[in-house]
């Protein structure tokens, strides 16, 4: 970047002219000096339009000292001085022919780049000839950052939606495979869609950062408790350990399968049964493990199913796979016992 430019006679007289109208138009020049909008004046008649005035906001925006700016050509702090398209945009702005906002990538003294919208107003003499350009720059840095951020969020959202659609497809395909009766199929699909939806609600309340295990359980079991006060039928003992959104969704689906099974065959299928869910975090050579035990009692006498259903498949294979742990279903006569042994989530989600 050029240092202080040796000033031509014209440059000196142009700067002097600015000083003069500073005297004539006192308050307006003070306003231009002190406004937070970055501004410069450049000479219209000379080639390359040397700058003859720069306000404090402009110096702050670009990091230059005033004497480093005065006398420089108008385009001297463009980030890409050989970018013909950008040069054409500036030319159009100077000629007053821009139809849209002119966004130019500029470079600060320290080499960092920033985007700014360039606005140009011509300053005319008594004959109507343009003698100077009055240019202002709106820093687009925070706008561009927000734009990049929201584009990232949209891409992430799209990714999530597509994965969710694939999950819904898997739910429907599974339900169609195992239910000949359309009503039963509809019920199977709805139960899992609503479980997914409740987990989404929970995660939305938590800004999709994480969800606590106690909350995941409460939300998953809520539709199974019915209208009566059945709070005594579910006992939850454990810390509200926080899981990543993905793990929370998987756990929500898994607890929905367990509760569905309890409603059909287990502790929720009569009036007396109850379910206790306890968990602890235990150290192990492979890192901290969370061991959760779901114990049903006082339901009808339990016998192991002749053929394993989708629910047990989701738990023993799906959940174990997704959370990289083990899940065991033990069909004890007194009631089903499900034991999950999964890696305890790290502190990232707390």
Partner 1 sequence: MSDLLSGRRMLVVEDEMLLLLMIEGIMEDLGCQSVTSAATVKKAISLIETEFFDAAMLDMNLGGEDSSRVADVLSERGVPFIYSTGNDSRDMAEGARNHAVLYKPYRETDLIAALTQLLASRSN
What is the number of other CB atoms lying within 10 angstroms of the CB of residue 169? 10
Interaction between residue 20 and partner 1 (CB under 8 A): no
Please give the Cα distance from 152 to 71 (Å, whole number): 42
Q: What string marks each residue from 179 to 198 as x (binds partner 1 by CB under 8 A) or -?
A: --------------------
Please give the Cα distance from 164 to 243 (Å, whole number): 19
Of 253, 275, 250, 279, nearest to 344 (Cα)?
Answer: 279
Q: How far is the CB of 187 from partner 1 (least distance, A)?
A: 17
**156 versus 239: smaller Cβ distance to partner 1:** 156
Q: How far is the CB of 188 from partner 1 (least distance, A)?
A: 13
- Burial per residue of 210-244, b for 16 or more beta-carbon CB atoms within 10 angstroms, e otherwise: bbbbbbbbbbbbeebeeeeeeeebbeeebeebbbb
> Among residues 56, 115, 322, 337, which is the contact residue for partner 1, using CB under 8 A?
322
**134 versus 208: smaller Cβ distance to partner 1:** 208
What residues numbered 235-274 form the site for partner 1, per CB under 8 A? 244, 246, 250, 253
Please give the Cα distance from 148 to 181 (Å, whole number): 49
The pair of structure tokens assigned to 348 is 């990232």
**31 versus 153: smaller Cβ distance to partner 1:** 153
Q: How far is the CB of 151 from partner 1 (least distance, A)?
A: 11
The pair of structure tokens assigned to 189 is 């699909």
Please give the Cα distance from 253 to 262 (Å, whole number): 14
Q: How far is the CB of 244 from partner 1 (least distance, A)?
A: 8
Please give the Cα distance from 259 to 198 (Å, whole number): 14
Interaction between residue 124 and partner 1 (CB under 8 A): no
Q: How far is the CB of 298 from partner 1 (least distance, A)?
A: 31
Helix (H, G, I), strand (E, B) or coil at 207: coil
HSE-CB of 236 using CA atoms within 13 angstroms: 16
> Among residues 43, 319, 336, 338, which is the contact residue for partner 1, using CB under 8 A?
319
Q: CA 228 → CA 14, 96, 223, 288, 308, distances in Å?
A: 87, 74, 12, 39, 31
**173 versus 183: smaller Cβ distance to partner 1:** 173
**1 versus 165: smaller Cβ distance to partner 1:** 165
**50 versus 245: smaller Cβ distance to partner 1:** 245
Interaction between residue 147 and partner 1 (CB under 8 A): no
Interaction between residue 157 and partner 1 (CB under 8 A): no
Interaction between residue 148 and partner 1 (CB under 8 A): no
Q: What string marks each residue from 276 to 315 as x (binds partner 1 by CB under 8 A) or -?
A: ----------------------------------x--xx-
The pair of structure tokens assigned to 62 is 């670009």
Helix extents (H) in 95-211: 141-178, 182-205
For partner 1, which stretch binds (CB under 8 A), given 18-26, 34-42, 76-84, 160-168?
Answer: 160-168
Q: CA 193 → CA 168, 171, 257, 317, distances in Å?
A: 7, 8, 12, 20
For partner 1, which stretch binds (CB under 8 A), given 5-13, 166-174, 261-269, 281-289?
Answer: 166-174
Q: Give the residues lining the site for partner 1 (CB under 8 A).
A: 155, 158-163, 165-171, 173-174, 177, 244, 246, 250, 253, 310, 313-314, 317-319, 321-322, 324
């Amino acid at each position: 970047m050029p240092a202080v430019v040796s000033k031509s006679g014209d440059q000196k007289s142009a700067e002097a002219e600015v000083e003069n109208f500073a005297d004539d138009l006192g308050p307006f020049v003070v306003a231009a000096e002190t406004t937070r909008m970055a501004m410069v004046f450049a000479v219209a008649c000379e080639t390359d339009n040397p700058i003859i005035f720069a306000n404090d906001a402009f110096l702050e925006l670009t990091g230059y000292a005033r004497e480093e700016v005065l006398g420089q050509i108008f385009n001297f702090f463009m980030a890409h001085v050989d970018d013909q398209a950008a040069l054409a945009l500036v030319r159009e702005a100077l000629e007053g022919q821009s139809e849209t906002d002119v966004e130019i990538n500029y470079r600060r003294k320290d080499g960092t780049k920033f985007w700014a919208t360039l606005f140009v107003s011509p300053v005319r003499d008594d004959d109507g000839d343009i003698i100077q350009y009055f240019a202002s720059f709106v820093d687009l840095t925070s706008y561009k950052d927000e734009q990049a951020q929201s584009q990232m969020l949209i891409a992430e959202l799209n990714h999530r939606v597509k994965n969710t659609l694939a999950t819904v497809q898997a739910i429907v395909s599974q339900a169609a495979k195992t239910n000949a009766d359309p009503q039963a199929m509809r019920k199977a699909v709805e139960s899992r869609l609503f479980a997914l939806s409740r987990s989404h609600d929970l995660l939305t309340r938590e800004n999709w950062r994480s969800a606590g295990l106690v909350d995941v359980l409460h939300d998953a079991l809520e539709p199974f408790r019915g209208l009566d006060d059945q709070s005594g039928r579910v006992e939850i003992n454990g810390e509200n350990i926080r899981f990543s959104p993905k793990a929370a969704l998987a756990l929500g689906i898994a607890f929905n399968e367990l509760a569905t099974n309890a409603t059909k065959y287990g502790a929720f299928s009569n009036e007396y049964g109850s379910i206790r869910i306890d968990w602890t975090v235990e150290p192990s050579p492979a890192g901290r493990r969370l061991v959760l035990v779901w114990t049903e009692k006082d339901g009808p006498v339990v016998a192991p199913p002749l053929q394993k259903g989708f629910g047990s498949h989701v738990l023993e294979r799906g959940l174990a796979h997704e959370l990289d742990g083990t899940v065991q279903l033990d069909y004890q006569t007194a009631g089903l016992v499900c034991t999950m042994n999964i890696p305890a989530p790290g502190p990232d989600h707390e």
